[in-house]
């Protein structure tokens, strides 16, 4: 497994539930069938938690998804999970990108041009 270090992603304005929370992109690992994107989340008090978000390599081959889209897609998925987190249902440290996540991302990122 090879490790790659990339920079931090821009942090979007947080929603009230995630106000004061910072999500930092750490880098990614390449596995046989996936890319695993790693993030560190710091809360208002400075406590940190590490998360990983996995995308199957087939997602890049079977769609318009590009490797450079991986960090943004995974950041969004993690942010979404953190926004719905409660004390009773904390976010698991490992998340997966599902087909629906990829389709939603591609619709937002690369909207179809209307013919007119």
Please state whether 98 falls in left (phi above 0), alpha (psi between -120 and 50) or beta. beta
Which structure tokens are listed for 68?
């450079």
Show pLDDT as tens, one digit a residue, over the chain (116 residues).
Answer: 444 444 444 444 444 456 678 999 999 999 999 999 999 999 989 899 999 999 999 999 988 899 999 999 999 999 999 999 999 999 999 999 999 999 999 999 888 877 76
Cα–Cα distance, 46 to 20 (Å, whole number) = 10
* pTM of the entire predicted model: 0.80
């Amino acid at each position: 497994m090879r490790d790659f270090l990339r920079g931090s992603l821009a942090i979007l304005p947080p929603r009230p539930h995630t106000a004061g929370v910072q999500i930092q992109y750490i880098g990614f690992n390449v596995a046989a069938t996936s890319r695993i994107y790693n993030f560190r989340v710091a809360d208002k008090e400075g406590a940190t938690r590490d998360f990983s978000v996995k995308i199957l390599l087939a997602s890049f081959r079977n769609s318009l998804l590009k490797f450079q889209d991986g960090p943004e897609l995974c950041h969004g998925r993690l942010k979404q999970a953190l926004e719905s987190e409660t004390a009773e249902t904390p976010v698991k440290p490992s998340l997966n990108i599902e087909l629906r996540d990829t389709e939603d991302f591609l619709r937002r990122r690369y909207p179809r041009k209307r013919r007119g």
